């Protein structure tokens, strides 16, 4: 299975973009700077364990990349279709996903939906959010940056996809 191994060092274009992220949408900058820590070898192995090893079917997208997409999606409140488009038209998304200048999406809408379902089924969504929160708390940023990013993470956590969220439980109803 292919791993997501984007560069650690900032390119010149990324440095310019990072300067624009000081006050607004700080989570983009944080995720770009710390993605290699968030998705270390151990976590990528855990993400890969969600997949069967028979080799049947289409090869999956790198799970760490898809996790990053779900974080960004929750952060900005984007639908699956919009997330695909943002990966092409928004430089901040491209920077975080490691695909600056891409002309075609790195994933499809259906692949994102299937990945999210797999992630929830294996409780990797919780693990991803816990790891992200722990990284924020680790002292990797100033107090003001920490407040801005913590607020952004709360938004992403609050938008966490829930298994069975489309199901309606019928309780006592007046007839």
Structural domain contains residue 63: yes
Domain count, the chain: 1
**pLDDT tens string 126-164:** 899 889 888 888 866 667 667 766 666 666 555 554 334
Structural domain contains residue 1: no
Structural domain contains residue 89: yes
Structural domain contains residue 56: yes
Structural domain contains residue 172: no
Structural domain contains residue 167: no
- Of 71, 112, 104, the residue nearest 87 (C-alpha): 104
**pLDDT tens string 57-82:** 677 899 999 999 999 998 888 999 99
Structural domain contains residue 58: yes
**Residue 26 belongs to what domain range?**
12-158
The pLDDT, as a whole number, for residue 127 is 93
Ramachandran area for residue 51 (φ above 0: left; ψ -120 to 50: alpha; else beta): beta
Does this model's pTM top 0.85? My answer is no
Whether residue 38 contacts residue 135, with contact meaning beta carbons closer than 8 Å, is answered with yes
Kindly report the three-state secondary structure assignment for every residue of 107-130: CCHHHHHHHHHHHHHCCHHHHHHH
Structural domain contains residue 115: yes
Mean pLDDT across 40-67: 88
Lowest mean pLDDT among 85-89, 111-115, 155-159, 163-167: 163-167
């Amino acid at each position: 299975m292919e791993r997501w191994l984007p560069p650690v060092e900032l390119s010149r274009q990324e440095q310019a973009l990072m300067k624009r992220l000081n006050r607004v949408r700080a989570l983009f900058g944080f995720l770009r700077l710390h993605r290699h820590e968030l998705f270390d070898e151990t976590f990528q192995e855990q993400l890969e364990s969600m997949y069967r090893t028979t080799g049947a079917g289409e090869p999956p997208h790198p799970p760490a990349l898809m996790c990053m997409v779900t974080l960004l999606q929750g952060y900005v409140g984007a639908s699956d279709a919009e997330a695909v488009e943002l990966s092409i038209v928004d430089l901040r998304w491209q920077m975080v996903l490691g695909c600056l200048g891409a002309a075609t999406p790195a994933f499809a809408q259906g692949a994102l939906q299937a990945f999210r379902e797999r992630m929830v089924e294996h409780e990797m969504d919780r693990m991803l959010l816990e790891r992200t929160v722990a990284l924020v708390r680790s002292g990797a940023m100033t107090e003001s940056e920490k407040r801005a990013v913590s607020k952004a993470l709360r938004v992403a956590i609050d938008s966490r996809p829930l298994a069975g969220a489309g199901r309606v439980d019928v309780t006592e109803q007046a007839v």
